[in-house]
Amino acid sequence: MNYLQLVNQVLRKLREDTVTTVNENDYSNLIGIFVNDAINAVEASWDWSSLRKTLSIPTYSGQDTYPLTSFGIRGEVMYVYNTSNNNEIKQRTKAYIDDKRYKTDNLGMPYSWALKGVDVNNDTNLILFPKPDKEYILSVDCVIRNESLEADSDVTALPTLPIIQLAFAYALREKGETGGQSAMEQSMYADKDLANAIALDAANNAGELVFDVI
């Protein structure tokens, strides 16, 4: 469902006229803001399957820091795997890696990673320890959360019902009751629809919700 369709769905719930473009009037533009707010809330609520990507990163000898292109600052790294040597690289804190680097700066096959600030493109940096001694191909499984929708035709890969329900709740909070329905009541419906959507998506990644005792 695209941006314009999402806005019009919310407008219908508000018993308002639909529009041909999100920026058609001040109110439709406001609803567009609520839709993007709802998208951000839904995105942050779960590691959605539709937002999961795998980045392939080649390393270079002596270079320990690599930007995660298109990752932004709202992304999440799940796993880092060295496909050249078929081994997982474990996540550590940046403090752990700094401590190791201060003690030894030898090159070798990386076995630890952490996140380290952002680059000039506002993409998060991945730092490795030890510094690679040669080229390795890293497979970075991550969740890349989208930017706000802008054009009418922009689409979201997220489940749309929770987005519409949340945006409707935000609009009710600003406008007041519609047909006797309060913002608080609508927020409860939105939370339930979001929980249902998460449960359905989680069923496709059931192994991630099973924890082993170590």
Q: Is pTM beyond 0.75 here?
A: yes
Query: Could you please report the per-residue DSSP string of 5-69?
Result: HHHHHHHHHTT----SSGGGSHHHHHHHHHHHHHHHHHHHTS--GGGEEEEEEE--TT--EEE-T
User: Domain locations in the chain?
Assistant: 3-47+158-203, 51-143
DSSP H/E element including 192? helix 183-202
CB atoms within 10 A of CB 54: 11
* pLDDT one-digit tens code per residue, 53-63: 999 999 999 99
- Whether 29 and 22 have beta carbons less than 8 Å apart is answered as yes
How far is residue 110's CA from residue 140's CA, in Å, rounded to a whole number?
Answer: 14
Q: Which residue has the tokens 């069923």?
A: 203
How far is residue 159's CA from residue 199's CA, in Å, rounded to a whole number?
Answer: 12
* pLDDT one-digit tens code per residue, 137-187: 999 999 998 778 999 999 999 999 999 999 999 999 987 655 566 788 889
